[in-house]
Amino acid sequence: MKKVAIIGAGPAGIEAASILANQQVEVLLFEKSLNTLSNMLDKAYLFPDFSPANDLVDKLNKKLLHQQITLFTGTEITDVKKDGKEWKVIDAKGMSYIVSAVLLTSGYSVFDAKRKEELGYGIYNGVITSIDLEKMIKYNQIENSMGDKPKRIVFLQCVGSRDEKSGNNYCSKICCVTAVKQAIEVKKLLPDTDVYIFYMDLRMWGQSFEEMYRESQEKYDVSYVRGRISEAASTFDKKIQIKAEDTLLGVPLKMTTDLLVLMVGMEASCGTKTLAETLHIKGEYGFAKSLNCHLQDNETTQQGLFIAGSCKRPMGINETLADARSASVIIMDYINAMQENDK
Ligand SMILES: Cc1cc2nc3c(=O)[nH]c(=O)nc-3n(C[C@H](O)[C@H](O)[C@H](O)COP(=O)(O)OP(=O)(O)OC[C@H]3O[C@@H](n4cnc5c(N)ncnc54)[C@H](O)[C@@H]3O)c2cc1C
Ligand code: SF4
């Protein structure tokens, strides 16, 4: 039997499904949301090339139109068990599916900004997250709490990442470049709005990220302040007042802004945490753990159980797709070896 179950129809799950299907593997692809690519739907433009997120969504969804792929949307996988040489995948309604191998691509969710009460998310309308801003950009509706065009927007990096208090000591990797990308998008839509980014370090690790950072300053006049915001509160006229420290100048500062954007980090999704725990492959912070981060980064301690994408650690789409392709090669090897042994 050449049948693989893939849990999660995000970029990783779809890319792997398409590659395996092209190799004549029967793929059962499970997605708990009613739509595939649930984490992509509210995105406007993607770093690093500012391509419309919808284009990628359409291209990935087209890959699913393959006779070897059966897509189950609105189907949450709640349990996975080894069944002799095979695997049994069980959904929330108790339906079970027998397959030769399982690929976990259950992805990430974003840090709940309400956990940083001092920053006022969920309390003041002028405090929003990067996800909220992404939607505003997508629908060209960037407004302050009074429904007016904001005169000033302040971004705060590392919300729920690199933060002992939140229990997340790791860097989420994608939020620095997302802030730079969003700041440029804001300036394209609202050239007269002042934009400030408060950061600890700017991690411009990817190809053309550094150039984007330079361009944000030279062409779009985005200002960068090295420092952390310790507190946000509402003013009488419904603006947001922030208390911060400029750590380069070594001075405390106060500033008012129309919008404070919290750059929320990536955490293991609920599905990732639960399934990684059940399958005994839980790594740090609830992400799924591979056997070896250099040579066996798609394999796990369980034979026939593979992992790919942001269920392992924070990563952008390019890395996610490349990881899904690498998992597909390893899964093909595994299935072919199983068939040889059965002869
Ligand atoms: C604010 C923000 C902006 C970003 N912008 C960019 C960008 O511009 N460019 C870029 O390259 N990257 C960007 N990213 C990162 C990008 O979103 C991720 O790289 C990508 O979504 C990871 O894909 P994935 O398939 O690993 O996981 P996900 O996209 O999280 O997909 C996992 C899927 O699994 C499903 N699932 C979970 N549990 C179960 C279960 N038990 N049963 C069935 N289904 C399940 C989920 O519903 C989800 O659809 C951004 C991230 C954030 C937070
Ligand atoms: S990518 Fe940037 S904003 Fe995100 S956690 Fe790392 S340093 Fe902080």
Q: How far is the CA of 319 from the centre of ligand 1 (A)?
A: 12
Q: How far is the CA of 311 from the centre of ligand 1 (A)?
A: 9
pLDDT the model gives residue 248 = 86
Q: What is the pTM of this model?
A: 0.97
265 close to ligand 2 (CB < 6 Angstrom):
yes
pLDDT the model gives residue 145 = 81
Report the residue among 18, 109, 269, 323 best suited for mutation to probe ligand 1: largest number of ligand atoms under 8 A from its CB.
269
Does the bond joining 48 to the residue before it have cis omega, within 30 degrees of 0?
Answer: yes
Superfamily of domain 3-107+269-342: FAD/NAD(P)-binding domain (3.50.50.60)
Q: How far is the CA of 156 from the centre of ligand 2 (A)?
A: 10
- Which residues of the chain are in CATH 3.50.50.60 domains? 3-107+269-342, 113-266
Q: How far is the CA of 230 from the centre of ligand 1 (A)?
A: 29
176 close to ligand 2 (CB < 6 Angstrom):
yes
Q: How far is the CA of 286 from the centre of ligand 1 (A)?
A: 16
Show the ligand 1 pocket: residues with CB < 6 angstroms. 7-13, 30-33, 38-39, 43, 46-47, 76-77, 105-108, 110, 130-131, 134, 174, 178, 266, 269, 271, 275, 309-310, 315-318, 320
**Residue closest by Cα to atom 34 of ligand 1:** 8
Q: 113-266 maps to which CATH number? A: 3.50.50.60
Ligand closest to the CA atom of residue 72:
1
pLDDT the model gives residue 1 = 65
CA distances from 141 to 153, 186, 190 (A): 14, 10, 11
Mean pLDDT by 10 residues, the chain (343 residues): 94 98 97 97 94 97 98 98 94 97 98 97 97 96 92 97 96 98 98 96 95 98 94 94 90 95 98 98 98 97 97 98 98 93 82
pLDDT the model gives residue 245 = 87
Atom of ligand 2 nearest to the CA of 172: 5
Q: How far is the CA of 37 from the centre of ligand 1 (A)?
A: 7
* Residue found by looking up tokens 């009488």 in the block: 236
